[in-house]
Structure 1
């Protein structure tokens, strides 16, 4: 009997149909998992942003413990009028550098006879430290905008060794210095003007009703004792880490610290109206709700105005550090007429009671 042997070759590859099925399955799995991965990443970024704000709150408390006052934008005195020395001084973000473990950088700053914005005919003796200094905690990781701006040095600054242009940091956090309307009101209370707690500068209402302030010879040093509404009910610092969106679908960077001098400059912050001196930065007096669309008012979007407000890339609201150092997520749906102004004022007599 003849026995026949047949060799069977094992198949070592997928057929085209099998390969397409595997690719389709992988595609479905990726489609299912990607939103979860993105959500997890955003949750981590939001947690980091919350930690940044927590550190800012702690720095403010430590500053107060050292100097018995809150950090502030260093403004220009009221008696320095047009034609006088109205150079920009340091911002509150500069003043707290030692409290966020940046003492070495802070000690390199010059605070007298310099212009932190490096504009006009001024000379910025701090251009080098400003161009080298980057504080990661001053930026939200969810921010879609650039963290730096390119600044053109004045002739005076170039004369002391600066290049024609240099980069400086733009911060995503802005100090609360008051409310536009009193809680429940829809018009500005002029008694605040006559009491020297607020004035129109040409760039918005410069005022002294918030947790932090601007120091000049009208607005005085603020302490915890001046927060009579309670530190847990008063906003200290909030996010401005997303674009301002317009009704036509366009968008723009409206951060209060994106102008000349970036994070480190206060601008003149003059108390009275002036075509040049009324500008300020890195602080806000919100006139419009969080994450609101552009309302066709220049004080909402210009780089040196007071009413840019709060914005966040975190869906549904904005993160804040309160006066007591706690971090809260305040939704976009918060009552902006009655509740939010009460949170922005430190001594307005309106206290928000939480219901549990």
Structure 2
């Protein structure tokens, strides 16, 4: 019987060429898969961001059902008696007992956002430390205390304003920690106005709330959105239709990297006459970043989304003037109390940002939305021509989506 050939059964190893080919194939596969994994992760984050907005939309509608109005953006205790105790600056910065109507709409939404625990802390007295605010004696915080535009006082912070609320944060935004308090990626929409009229009383030391006829005329002409500062608006005021009007918008928080959407620059006085006047300060080689240094001294307080509880424009307000992801620009040498500014929506998503419509729907607005003339003056009291009170928005479809009762016809997809 012939013997079997054992040599034919011997195993053969990989040659060097075969091994290199296998490694190359694995490298190519990894190179193809990693971007797909990153894209899938961002898609999940974007969906989560959208879901947060949907929850806020439900909260707005539940709030309206409970109180027959939307939450006021700019509320809180006021005490004029402290005017004589240390002057205006001391009254604003060191008075723990009164917010002077600087509490934003996101605070009022807390009980309707499954944040009852934080609401209980805000709406009840809170003692932090043994001695603070020595200008007015040693006192505990009572309800709605702690200044939302001052992160600490005598080294002691008001804990609720520093609390990060997950629903108020977009997971695509990496911003964390100081100089911000509790950050937010969502702000209320005040319409297509740059003339915020803040210097007429909203953040003015000498006139906390101005109710004279001239100021009322300014507010009525300029504040054309679902929200306005101090205003008590209702769904019935949105004559353009809930599905055609933006109630809130997404925004980036500041990373300290001179990004045009989260760190402001001064465009000189009267920015409302030319919204894009800060554009020459953008780095031509890196068009998402500024090429110039900041023009004011309160940079942290001007940071976008720095405090969810505040009323201040940079923190919690958006407008529909410049299209999404354009520059954050205000009057020269102003901080968070800037009287005029472009506060458009922005995001870390690719190609646009989310907005919440007044009917509760969440829409993704692309950077290329039709936005009219970015050099046109806004509609305001005393304006003429296309800026006269009651005029249609000069900022095209984008501006029209921001106004609640300007009667523009929305006949385009967005």
Normalising to structure 1: TM-score of the pair? 0.71
Q: Is the 8 A contact 2:187 2:251 kept in 1?
A: yes
Aligned equivalents of 1:34 and 1:317: distance in 2? 23
Corresponding residue of 2:241:
230
* 2:224 counterpart (168, 186, 209): 209
User: Which has the larger share of strand?
Assistant: 1
For 1:20-44, what per-residue CA distance to the aligned partner results, in whole angstroms no more than 9, with x for missing partners? 1111101111222333322222222
Q: Secondary structure at the match of 2:117?
A: helix
CA RMSD, aligned part only?
3.8
Corresponding residue of 1:83:
88
Q: Is the 8 A contact 2:194 2:319 kept in 1?
A: no
Aligned equivalents of 1:330 and 1:226: distance in 2? 24
**Structure 2: runs of 5 or more not aligned:** 94-98, 123-141, 196-212, 254-258, 262-281, 291-299, 372-394
Q: Secondary structure at the match of 2:52?
A: helix
Corresponding residue of 1:284:
318
Corresponding residue of 2:159:
128
Q: Secondary structure at the match of 2:187?
A: strand
For 1:216-259, what per-residue CA distance to the aligned partner results, in whole angstroms no more than 9, with x for missing partners? xxxx311111111111111011111374263242637975322x
Q: 1:30 to 1:194 in 2, by over 3 A?
A: same
Point out which structure has higher relative CO (alpha carbons under 8 A, 6+ apart): 1
For 1:40-95, what per-residue CA distance to the aligned partner results, in whole angstroms no more than 9, with x for missing partners? 22222211111111111111111111121111322589997982844643221111
Corresponding residue of 1:190:
none
Aligned equivalents of 1:301 and 1:239: distance in 2? 23
Corresponding residue of 2:260:
244
Q: Is the 8 A contact 1:311 1:318 kept in 2?
A: yes
Aligned equivalents of 2:67 and 2:332: distance in 1? 33
1:34-113 equivalences under 5 Å are 34-75=34-75, 83=88, 85-86=91-92, 88=99, 89-109=102-122, 110-112=142-144
How many Å apart are 1:177 and its aligned residue?
1.1
Q: Is the 8 A contact 2:250 2:354 kept in 1?
A: yes
Corresponding residue of 1:139:
169
Corresponding residue of 1:202:
none
Corresponding residue of 2:370:
335
How many Å apart are 1:134 and its aligned residue?
2.3
* 1:117 counterpart (141, 146, 149): 149
Q: Is the 8 A contact 2:248 2:318 kept in 1?
A: no
Aligned positions, number: 303
Shifted more, 249-258 versus 84-93: the winner is 249-258
For 1:258-299, what per-residue CA distance to the aligned partner results, in whole angstroms no more than 9, with x for missing partners? 2xxx112225xxxxxxxxxxx66311234422112466x457
1:167-206 equivalences under 5 Å are 168-180=181-193, 194=214, 196=216, 198=218
Q: Is the 8 A contact 1:50 1:327 kept in 2?
A: yes
Q: Is the 8 A contact 1:176 1:285 kept in 2?
A: yes
Q: 1:292 to 1:65 in 2, by over 3 A?
A: same
Q: Is the 8 A contact 1:174 1:256 kept in 2?
A: no
For 1:100-119, what per-residue CA distance to the aligned partner results, in whole angstroms no more than 9, with x for missing partners? 10011111014455423336
Q: Secondary structure at the match of 1:73?
A: coil
Corresponding residue of 2:177:
148
Q: Is the 8 A contact 2:303 2:314 kept in 1?
A: no
